[in-house]
Amino acid sequence: MGFALSAFIVGLGLIITKCSGLLRDIIVSMRFSEDLFRDGFTLAFTIPDLFYNLLVGGAIYSTVAPYMSAQLAVGKEKQGIRTVSIFISVVCVVMIICCAFGSLFSEPIYALYALRSNDIDPEVLSLAAQASKMLFPQIFFIMLAALCNGILNSYRRFGITSFGPVLYNILVLLVIYFFGGNSLTKLVMTTGGILVSSIIYFIFQYSLGFKQMKQFRFVFKPADKEFLMLFRRAVPILISASITQINVVVLNHFALLFDQGSVYGFRNASTIWQIPYSVFVVAITTVMTPELAGSYESKDYPKASDLISGSMKSALFMTIPSAAFIAVLNLDVVKAIYQWTSSYTDRNAQTAATFLLGFCSAIITATVIHVFNQAFYAIGQTKIPLIAGILGFVINPVACQIMVSLGVGPLSLSLAYSFTNLCQMIMLAITYCRRKELAPHGIIGFLVKATVSVAVMSGVLYVMDMFVPATGGKAVQLAIIAGKGIVAVVVYFAVAVILRMQEATYWIDRFKRLVRKRS
């Protein structure tokens, strides 16, 4: 399977997954119609997610997949299977202990949110703590499913791993719809249903990849030399992923300082800006990482440089106009996605849109960060992303505190996050490009052309928004925004073609071939 086809399959799976994720947030706003329960439900996920990242997180894919890919590339499959089996066994034992601890002590853990602040609603924290008791064991099964995905991706089974999360999201949608409501009992029933959904998700992933997965056994040998080597490689990734989630916890702490509904609004904005980031960037790097690891292990440095160059340009070519579109139409985008009933008010939409505006630049900087991080993981230099993560860990809360103190308001959270990303991006780019034989090439010229293309697109969008505002019924509103989106895509690609951007002609040629084939 070729690189482009693999990326397309992964991207398609991510699009469906993200759409189902958006539906989840919409149904949450319907079933948990009060801001108190929306915030409680949203906050309930933050600490279990932190536990997940502390213990396994990005290390599953960013360590297991490159390691297994490298072992397969040099003909050492049996050694790779044994080492990964030990890795899985050790993290499973540790995860079981930690999940039990989190469920038992959820109340004092969530009480930490209120430290050094008397402005945080204790009722929100109490609801989140109770709901999280079912979410701690849920992350154990999510971890098992993620381990399956990492292993199967190393065998290039991208189709299987791309659509498993869709099943999980569909199950979660059904759970929220049937069990969600404005009471503690319904809140706990919902998170309990999500736990069951995670179990089904793991079983589904394991059964589809049974041919590869049956080779792995429970082998608890934490003193094994190969395991210790893999573990040492994983530790910086674990810390990096944990720092990312700690920053999410910090941002939610600041969100709790504002009006009720701010936590959920922050979640809405985060979900929206991560759609283009996840669909385009994660899809491309999911395929790039094992390929780059194999090229680096085989010492084919020109191919490795071409891989990261093509991946970086392809990802930025799609995320740059996405960021501009969201920046120009932030409030319209929020209303189009979330405002389906009167329970999601104009105030809720404005809160989310304020956060979203500050996140727009993060779409671009996060693209570069993710590509460089995955490249470092693929070549085994996991400490560099860790240093970048520590840099973000220091900058993010300080920037939040300064902007909140200056009276910037809710916008301060997303602006602080975007500024933090900018600092991390600069540090990663400078460090990676020191290896000239591996560095991406042709980026400056690409960025100049992309900037001109997106500037013209943004100008056209701004004028259209002045004369054709997205007002009226829901169908009319969606049709107007869809029309603006189509015009934006046409204008962006037209200018890119005029400027002879290879990325534009590549996607246009693929689209033409697809149309001819169907005809």
Do 376 and 481 lie in one domain? The reply is yes
257, 292, 320 - which closes a domain? 257
137-179 pLDDT, tens digit each: 998 898 888 777 767 766 665 555 556 677 888 899 899 999 9
**DSSP track, 259-320:** STTHHHHHHHHHHHHHHHIIIIIIHHHHHHHHHHHHHHHTT-HHHHHHHHHHHHHHHHHHHH
36-65 pLDDT, tens digit each: 898 899 889 888 988 887 766 656 656 676
465-488 pLDDT, tens digit each: 998 888 878 888 889 999 999 999
Do 236 and 303 lie in one domain? The reply is no
Do 98 and 179 lie in one domain? The reply is yes
Task: Please report whether residue 270 resides in a domain.
Answer: no
- Number of Cβ atoms within 10 Å of the Cβ of 86: 24
Do 323 and 252 lie in one domain? The reply is no
Tell me which DSSP letter residue 183 carries: S
Q: Give the contacts of 87 (CB within 8 A, at least 6 positions apart).
A: 63, 64, 227, 230, 231, 234
Task: Please report whether residue 125 resides in a domain.
Answer: yes
Task: Please report whether residue 140 resides in a domain.
Answer: yes
Do 194 and 320 lie in one domain? The reply is no
371-393 pLDDT, tens digit each: 898 888 888 787 888 888 889 88
Domain count, the chain: 2
Burial class (CB in 10 A: 0-12, 13-18, 19+), 389: buried
Do 204 and 104 lie in one domain? The reply is yes
Do 416 and 513 lie in one domain? The reply is yes
Do 297 and 203 lie in one domain? The reply is no
210, 230, 257 - which closes a domain? 257
Do 250 and 282 lie in one domain? The reply is no
In whole angstroms, give the CA distance from residue 501 to residue 208: 40
Token output for 379: 């070549």
Q: 56 with 143: CB under 8 angstroms? A: yes
Token output for 334: 């929020």
In whole angstroms, give the CA distance from residue 289 to residue 63: 10
Task: Please report whether residue 9 resides in a domain.
Answer: no
Q: Which of 220, 217, 234 is nearest to 64 (CA)?
A: 234
Mean of the per-residue pLDDT values for the chain?
82
386-439 pLDDT, tens digit each: 888 889 889 988 998 898 888 888 888 889 989 999 999 999 999 998 888 888
Q: Give the contacts of 169 (CB within 8 A, at least 6 positions apart).
A: 17, 20, 21, 23, 24
Do 307 and 249 lie in one domain? The reply is no
181-193 pLDDT, tens digit each: 889 999 999 999 9
Do 287 and 189 lie in one domain? The reply is no
Residue 20 C-alpha from the chain's centroid: 14
Place of tokens 């992350």: 139
Task: Please report whether residue 111 resides in a domain.
Answer: yes
In whole angstroms, give the CA distance from residue 350 to residue 330: 9
Task: Please report whether residue 271 resides in a domain.
Answer: no
pTM of the predicted structure, to 2 decimals: 0.73
202, 223, 257 - which closes a domain? 257
State the pLDDT at residue 154: 63
Q: Which of 479, 375, 506 is nearest to 62 (CA)?
A: 375
State the pLDDT at residue 3: 47
In whole angstroms, give the CA distance from residue 363 to residue 480: 24
Query: Helix (H, G, I), strand (E, B), or coil: what is residue 165?
Result: helix
**DSSP track, 136-193:** HHHHHHHHHHHHHHHHHHHTT-HHHHHHHHHHHHHHHHHHHHHH--SSHHHHHHHHHH
In whole angstroms, give the CA distance from residue 382 to residue 377: 5
Q: Which of 451, 446, 457 is nearest to 490 (CA)?
A: 457
**Which residue range(s) make up the domain with 108?**
33-257
Q: Which amino acid is at 445?
A: G
Do 195 and 327 lie in one domain? The reply is no
